[in-house]
Structure formats: structure tokens, C-alpha cells
Chain A
Amino acid sequence: MRNTMSLLAAAAALLCAGTAEAQTLKMTPELKALAAAADKEGQVIVKYSSNFFDGGRGVKIYTDNMNKAFGTKVKVVWAPGGSMPEIGNEIAVSLKNNLPAPTDLYTGFSRNMGAFLKFDLFQTAPWKSYDPERLTDRLIERDTYVKAYSATLGFSYNTDLVKSNPERVSDFLKPEFKGKIATTAFGAGFEQLAAKEAWGPDKTLEFARQFAQQVGGFMLCPEAERLSSGEFLAFVTDCGGGSMVKASLQGAPVRRVVTPDYPMISYFYHAVPKNAPNPNAAKLFITYLHTVPGQLDMWELHQNDLHLYPESRQRDGIQAVEKKFGITFADADIDWQDTNEPGNAAQREVVKIFQASGK
């Protein structure tokens, strides 16, 4: 009887502890102060693509889960936006004119962030003090930029129509793909292939000349339907492939492949504009996205997460490629972008090659 009572008591304690853990994460004093300040602001405006919010569904999920985690009442407000350069431009213009930024939170690829460095658009924050266990030195750059999610170079293909299991970008030079594959008009990913750590500019440009003859058309990054419908057999390279993974999870005959051709992991970053209307709420939201529930939310809604975390869904795929091809993916962070100007220049040439192959 005593044992039974003890077991029941232990179970109740565990249940209570579990419930408390589910409702409010462990918070540092700095994070508590941030949460209080964010509560006063009441909302965080996020101007970003619909993918991040799964077409709007994510607004409520992020709002509910963040407030559950921190015990706050902050509303996440989504403002559908343009491309990363366009939103960055709006921030820059508004800052120059002493106007509030159109968004509290900017998300940009490492290359965008590198290009924006000279404009000094974003504010610093004691990020690590908010969550010392998660927001570590490896994630924070210049006390300003926070790695948001990992981006691997890869491609996607229709599994009903492609049976050869391509693993490398060069596999798409085979005759069977001629005129039946797509890429982006702006040469996404080719600056990475042209990096000195990968193929280098010369090999990339030679490849691009042959590859352009194989390409049947251009796609936008999220157009998974063009693959699942069979309009194109493959999308090479595929802007990180989040939409393709999503389509695959929904049952479409699409497979996303991380290629070993570029042995680096790039990142998308979060940053808070200096003229953000609700800077504390933005910082709190970023901090939430780095919690375990935040990472799970991002994966569920966006099919992206940070592979540096053990619970990452991208991590397994990356490690599988490392094991299979005997490579170790290195970090391509903002500072690295400054070293890749030859790669960026090669990409500009690739775009011209793609254009010239047009009708």
C-alpha cells in the first residue's frame, strides 16, 4: 500500500513538473526582463514569406506556443513580404528616414546579411544571457545576428519519373534529363558551388555552360507542384528545399537530396532592425524559435531547423551524407561570405549563361 502511494505521489510530482515545464521554460533574469518588456509592446510584426508561417497557419501556433513557453501575451503578427533583399531595402530606407521599420524581425541568408553589414541596420543584444544553454557563441555573430536555420545545398526530383537516384549535381548532365529539369533564373546555390571549398569558379562556369543546355525552364523556389505534377523531373539546385520537403511529407512524389558537392552548411539569420517598432518582442520571438518547442514549430510549419541542435530533423540527413561520402560539412557564416567574392562573381556569370540559353 505504502509502495503504491509512493508511486502515485511520484507520478503526480512528475506530472506536475512536466506540466510546469510545458507551460513555462526555465528563464534567466534577463529573459524575464525581456519577456516583461515584450509584454508591454504586445506584438511582434514579422514581414516574411508565407512559407515561414505555412500560409498563415503558423501565426497562431507561434503566438500560442511562445506565450505558453514564456508566460507572456505577445501577439505574432505576420505581414506578407517580398524577397529578402527587398525587405532589407525597406528597413534601410525607413532607418535612413527615421521611420519605424516595416518589420520587427528580419530574416536573411548569410549572403544578404554580409551585404547589409556596411549599412549597420541591426541592433545588438545580450543574446547569450537570454538562453545560455541554447544561444551559444556558435549561433551568435557580432552580438547581432542569430543563426535561424540551416541551409544545405541540394536538389529535388520526382520519384515517380526519376529512378536513377541522383546524388550529385553533375548527375543531371546525363542525356535523360535534357530539357526536362529546372533551376532558378538567378542561379541559386551556384555561388556555393563556385566557392574555393567546393568546385571553384572555373569548374562551376564550365559546368554551368553544359548544365544550361540541360535546363528546360526556370522555377521559383517554392513551386513544388511543378515537380510533383511531373512538369519538371528535377529542380537543381533548390534554394534549401524546404518546400520540397513539405511536399514530400504531404505525400507528393518528391525527394529532396543534400549533395556532397558543396561541403558546407549555410545559414539563414535573424536580426532586429535598429528601428524595429517592437524590438523586445522581436528578441523574445527569436529566443523562442531557439527553444526545443520553437525548433519543432519551425520544422512543422517551414520544414527547416538548425542542424546544430540535437533534436534537429535536418541533422540526420546531413550526418548521413557526411558518413556516406566521408566528408565533414563546415560552417559558411557571415564572415565566410566576405571570403567568397570569387564565388559570388562566378554566380553572376552563371546567371548570364542561363539567360543566354533562354528562348
Chain B
Amino acid sequence: MFAVAACVSVVIVMMPLFMLWLSLREAHPIEPVSAYSFLHFAEVFGDPFILKVLANTFQFSIISLAVGLFFGVPTAWLVERTDLPGKPAVMTLMTIGLLMPGFAAAMGWLFMLHPRIGIVNRWLMDTFALSDAPFNIASITGMGWVMGLSLAPLAFIMTAAVLRALDPALEESAHMSGAGFFNVMRKVTLPLAWPGILAAGIYIFTIGFAAFDVPAIIGWSNKIYTFSTYLLLQLSAAEGLPRYGAVSALSMVVIFISGMLIWWYSRLQANAHRYQVVTGKGYRPRTVALGRKVWLAWGFLGAYFTFSKLLPLLVIIWASLLPYFRYPSAAAFKTVSLRQFQNIQWDMTLDGIINTGILMVLTPTLTLAIAVCFSWVVLRSKIPGRIGFDFIAFLPHAIPNIVFGLAAMLFMLFVLQRFVPIHGTIWILLLVFVIARLSYATRMTNATFMQIHKELEEAATMSGVGTGIIIWKVIIPLLGPTLIYAWLWMALLTYRELTLAVVLSTRDNLTLPVVVWNAWFAGGFGSAAALTLILMSMMVPLVALYWWLVRKTGLRQA
């Protein structure tokens, strides 16, 4: 356990150290000689505009977090703690959200609520003779709304496992003492679920901080910069070589902010025993009868699925049938055809499918195996400085993917390529994907480890069982539901991973999102929309498998 965690930690730590080296090196890395100074930091932070960018990014991240939690946590509660009918369908629909690439959803919303061309805005203005568009998606609030909707499934899956494992005895005791539903929720349920919700919150906040596709499509087109789009601007040097020094200096800020979040999270972990709810004694979650309020629940879920999935999907379908995007009209309907589908390049698409399939299987499997090792070391071992491993596991999440990918690429070229020649292959993608997903996997395994009382392991130890058998026979079965969720989730995240794949892509390691992204750049929204629909339809078997698994294993009742 320790050896695996230590080896992976060395690789992870090398990445930000390499970036730190880049940020301090005055000359470009290909220059043989250079002085070292804080020149790049002075250059970046000497520009007052960076403060505006950081303020925008904070605002965007907070709104994304609020929207994500607003939809994700109640959905998790409905699925895990109530008698809501059709839970497998809800869980499956939540996963489908990931199948829609972020940039496609952003374009969908832009075409719905843009003040000039938004279909909904134009319809409202025509119908009610309004002089101005009632909605404006082209704002930080609008961006946060779109991003939050796409992050709600993540909030759902991260909090569902926690809510599923809550000890009913505490809630029942509260009920027996005369506490009402809302009091129990406020004083018992939510405090017990707090570690999971906080973990989801930290995770979603940092995703918002580093998000690229939504800010690029909605924000950039309206002169709203966030950290990632500003960073891309620095990378897209109009002349000469990319400004890796300035980019690295800028990235250090995000690493610092994430470091503070990790510190906060670590404080919580120090009190983890206060939240342990799964014990060896009569563990069985209680479900709340919704009664007539089931319609309210379905209304809430229906609103979420309509906003987050159905409307953008309809716009994508509409766009895929047009030579270029137009407001629905008789003239537009005359141009409807399947031409965008006929023009798809199948040779590259098939390569992308194969590569993505391999990565979808290997990435979550390896990542979870490593995550269990990390969680064990952090939460169960007595190794001095073990909390440092958790910090390291979270580091990849603290580094924006675009920078992480670049750091990995340069690190491979400069340092590792002579020893491990995997640059340009699918294996460098696997390595980087595993490291990038480790923070998510360890959040999941940590949260569950926190809720598994040590008495179970202590009982096994007292019976003379070794550590390996304890993990295999005790820990893994208890982690089972979480691992299945996390595996499927990471498989889907791998399926849609774009930024890392784009940065590290070659002809030999194309993935499906890169194929879609290239189609977007070649032909606009229509061709990318057509390809997106085909890719989403290809994921139907996986979604069906997920649904079947949910029903068969009874995860909703676990």
C-alpha cells in the first residue's frame, strides 16, 4: 500500500515542481542557459487585469457550486433516502448528462438564451412584444448556471454514497424525541452528511476554477475572462514560443488556492471520527415516505433534466440537421438535411472509439486501485506525515488540466522520454488520466473510509487476519457500492475528457472527444453536433449496463 502510494506520489509531485522550475526560469526551456528569478511572477501580477480575472473566476466558481449543489444534493437525497419510485431511471439519467460534452451544452444554452440570437429570448420577445431580451446567458451568472447544471451529477454521485450510508438510528432517535422533518434534516442528516457534501463542494469549486469549455464558449465571446481562458490567451502567443513561464507562474496561484482548500479539508479529516456512521451494529438506512410530495419531487427532477439535458439536446439535434444554426422557421426547415452526418470521417472516429474504449476500462480500474492505497495510508496507517499523501493526491485536481497536460508533455519530453518512450502513445494518456482522476477517486474512497469504523478491522485483526485479507474481505466489500459508482463515473469522465487529450494528442492516440473537437474547429457547430449525437448514441449500451447494474445490485437500497 505504502509503496504504491509513494511511487505515484513521486510522479505527481514532479509535475508541479517542474512547473515551478518553469515559472522561475527566465528563458524558455529549450534555451540551454537561463537565469532564475521571479520575473514571470512580476510580469503576471504586475498586470492589474489579473485581479479582475481572478474575481470573475471566483464568482463563476461559486455560482457553479451553488447550482451544482442545489440540484445535486436534493437529487441524491431523493434517490438514497426516500421511497421515490423509478430510482434507477433517475440515476441513469444523471449519468447521461456526462455524455454531452461541455462545449456542446454551452453552445446549446448560448443558442437558447443569447440576448440576440437565443431561441427562447426571441420567442419571448416576439410573443410578448418585449424590447429587450429577458434572459442573458452571456454573463458570469449565466456561465455559472450552465456549468452548475453540468456539475450537478457530480454533486449527486459524490453525496449519494454518503447519504446512502447514514445511520438511521440517529434520525430515528431525533424523530422519537419529537423533532420534525426539517429539524431532523437540519440538525442530524445534514451534519452527518457534511464531510461528503464538503468534499463535493471543494471538488466542484476547483473544477469551476479550472473549467475551460463553458468560459471559452460563453465567456470569451462576451469579453468575460476566467482563469483558464486567460491562461489560454497566454499560451496562444501570437509570435514565437508559448509563454510557459508566465503560464506556470499564473498556475501557481491556483495551486496555492487549492492548497488552502486542502488544508481546510484536512482539518475536517482530523475530526473524521465524529462522522463515522457505518458500524458493525445493525446498519440499515431508513427511507422517508414521500406520500403526495412525490409530485413535487418529480417536478424538481423534471425541471433539472429539462434544463440540463433535454433543452440543450434538442438544440444539438436541431443544429445537426442544419448547414448552419438558424432560428426555427419555415426557411430554416427547408434546409434540414442529414448532410452533417454524411460528412463524418469514420476512419478517425473508429480510431478514437478504440482508444477511448481502452482508456475507459484501464483508467478507472488503475485509479481506484491506487486511490484505495492512498486512503489506507492516510486514514488507517500510522505513518508519520501521512496526511501529506492526501495533499499529494489532491494536487492533480489543483492544477488546471490544460497546464497539467502541458507539464506532463514537457516533463515527458525533457525528462522521461529517454527512459520510458511513451510520448505520443495512448499510454501517456493513461498515465496522465490516472493521475488527473486520482483526486476524485481519493475523495470518494476517503469519504467512505471515514464512515467505516475501525472496529470492523480491529475485530478482524483480533481474529488473527492479516492486512491484505482485511482489505480484501472487509474493506473492499464495504467500499463496493462506492467503487462501482466511482468506476462508472470515471469511465464516463474518461470518455468525455477533452483538455488533456487535446494537449497530448497525436494521430496514434486520438480519443473521441478530440475527434469531436476537431470537427467543431473544422465545420462549426453542425458537424460537431452530428458527431456528438452519434457518440452519445454509442454510449447507450454503457448506460443500459449501468441501469441494469443499478437494478440488479439494488444499489438504491444498499
A325 within 8 A of B: no
Q: Tell me if B238 and A99 are in contact (CB < 8 A).
A: no
Q: Tell me if A50 and B518 are in contact (CB < 8 A).
A: yes
* Cβ contacts under 8 Å, B240 to chain A: 85, 112, 115-116
Number of interface residues of B (CB under 8 A): 64
* Cβ contacts under 8 Å, A355 to chain B: 49, 225, 233
Contacts A182-B221, A185-B233, A358-B223 given; does A97 touch B414 at CB 8 Å:
yes
| 0/1 string, A180-195, CB within 8 A of B gives 1 | 1010011110010000
Q: Tell me if A55 and B523 are in contact (CB < 8 A).
A: yes
* A326-B535 Cα distance, complex, nearest whole Å: 53
Q: Tell me if A228 and B325 are in contact (CB < 8 A).
A: yes
B521 within 8 A of A: yes
Q: Tell me if A250 and B324 are in contact (CB < 8 A).
A: yes
Q: Tell me if A180 and B49 are in contact (CB < 8 A).
A: no
A51 within 8 A of B: yes
Instruction: Report the minimum CB–CB distance from B532 to chain A (whole Å).
Output: 14
* Cβ contacts under 8 Å, B343 to chain A: 55, 57
Q: Tell me if A216 and B222 are in contact (CB < 8 A).
A: yes
* A9-B222 Cα distance, complex, nearest whole Å: 67
Q: Tell me if A55 and B524 are in contact (CB < 8 A).
A: no
* Cβ contacts under 8 Å, A182 to chain B: 221
Q: Tell me if A187 and B238 are in contact (CB < 8 A).
A: yes
A356 within 8 A of B: yes
* A229-B327 Cα distance, complex, nearest whole Å: 8
A215 within 8 A of B: yes
Q: Tell me if B223 and A215 are in contact (CB < 8 A).
A: yes
Closest to A344 in B: B239
A171 within 8 A of B: no
* Cβ contacts under 8 Å, A250 to chain B: 323-324
Q: Tell me if B236 and A186 are in contact (CB < 8 A).
A: yes
Of the candidate stretches A75-83, A147-155, A162-170, A311-319, the one touching chain B is A75-83
Residues 326-345 of B contacting A (Cβ, < 8 Å) = 326, 335, 343, 345
* A116-B241 Cα distance, complex, nearest whole Å: 8
| 0/1 string, B229-267, CB within 8 A of A gives 1 | 100010111111110000000000000000000000000
Q: Tell me if A102 and B506 are in contact (CB < 8 A).
A: yes
* Cβ contacts under 8 Å, A90 to chain B: 409, 413
* A180-B114 Cα distance, complex, nearest whole Å: 12
A56 within 8 A of B: yes
Partner of B117, one of A89, A97, A230: A230
* A80-B515 Cα distance, complex, nearest whole Å: 9
Closest to A93 in B: B413
A47 within 8 A of B: yes
Of the candidate stretches A198-206, A218-226, A284-292, the one touching chain B is A218-226
Contacts A83-B236, A247-B324 given; does A55 touch B56 at CB 8 Å:
no
* A97-B506 Cα distance, complex, nearest whole Å: 19
Instruction: Report the minimum CB–CB distance from B455 to chain A (whole Å).
Output: 54
B111 within 8 A of A: yes
Count of inter-chain pairs, beta carbons less than 8 A: 177
Instruction: Report the minimum CB–CB distance from A235 to chain B (whole Å).
Output: 11
B526 within 8 A of A: yes
Q: Tell me if B526 and A79 are in contact (CB < 8 A).
A: no
Q: Tell me if A79 and B505 are in contact (CB < 8 A).
A: yes
Contacts A78-B507, A180-B116 given; does A86 touch B518 at CB 8 Å:
no
* A170-B105 Cα distance, complex, nearest whole Å: 35
* Cβ contacts under 8 Å, B47 to chain A: 352
Q: Tell me if A225 and B526 are in contact (CB < 8 A).
A: yes
Contacts A97-B413, A186-B236, A355-B225 given; does A54 touch B220 at CB 8 Å:
no
Most buried by A among B56, B117, B239, B347: B239
A174 within 8 A of B: no
Q: Tell me if A225 and B239 are in contact (CB < 8 A).
A: no
A74 within 8 A of B: no
* Cβ contacts under 8 Å, B221 to chain A: 182, 217-219, 226, 231-232
Instruction: Report the minimum CB–CB distance from A192 to chain B (whole Å).
Output: 11
Most buried by B among A45, A187, A358: A358
Q: Tell me if B49 and A356 are in contact (CB < 8 A).
A: yes
B30 within 8 A of A: yes
* Cβ contacts under 8 Å, B326 to chain A: 229
* Cβ contacts under 8 Å, A24 to chain B: none
* A208-B345 Cα distance, complex, nearest whole Å: 41
Contacts A191-B238, A229-B117 given; does A45 touch B507 at CB 8 Å:
yes
Partner of A112, one of B239, B324, B335, B507: B239
B502 within 8 A of A: yes
* Cβ contacts under 8 Å, B229 to chain A: 185
Q: Tell me if A222 and B521 are in contact (CB < 8 A).
A: yes
Instruction: Report the minimum CB–CB distance from A240 to chain B (whole Å).
Output: 13
A18 within 8 A of B: no
B510 within 8 A of A: yes
B381 within 8 A of A: no
Q: Tell me if B507 and A77 are in contact (CB < 8 A).
A: yes
Partner of B505, one of A80, A99, A112: A80
Known: A49-B521, A85-B240, A115-B240. 10 other contacts (CB 8 A): A53-B522, A56-B518, A83-B242, A86-B242, A102-B424, A225-B526, A229-B325, A231-B116, A252-B323, A358-B224
Closest 9 CB pairs of A and B: A55-B522, A56-B345, A115-B240, A79-B507, A225-B524, A50-B518, A217-B221, A228-B324, A50-B522
26 contacts between A and B (CB under 8 A): A50-B519, A55-B343, A55-B522, A55-B527, A56-B348, A56-B522, A83-B236, A83-B242, A89-B30, A92-B30, A99-B413, A115-B240, A185-B220, A188-B238, A218-B220, A218-B221, A220-B220, A224-B324, A225-B324, A225-B325, A228-B325, A250-B323, A357-B223, A358-B49, A358-B52, A359-B223
Interface residues of A (CB under 8 A from B): 45, 47, 49-51, 53-57, 59, 77-83, 85-86, 88-90, 92-94, 96-97, 99, 102, 111-112, 114-116, 119, 180, 182, 185-188, 191, 215-220, 222-226, 228-232, 247, 250-252, 344, 347, 351-352, 354-359
Interface residues of B (CB under 8 A from A): 28-30, 47, 49, 52, 56, 110-111, 114, 116-117, 138, 140, 220-225, 229, 233, 235-242, 323-326, 335, 343, 345, 347-348, 409-410, 413-414, 417-418, 423-424, 502-503, 505-508, 510, 514, 518-519, 521-527
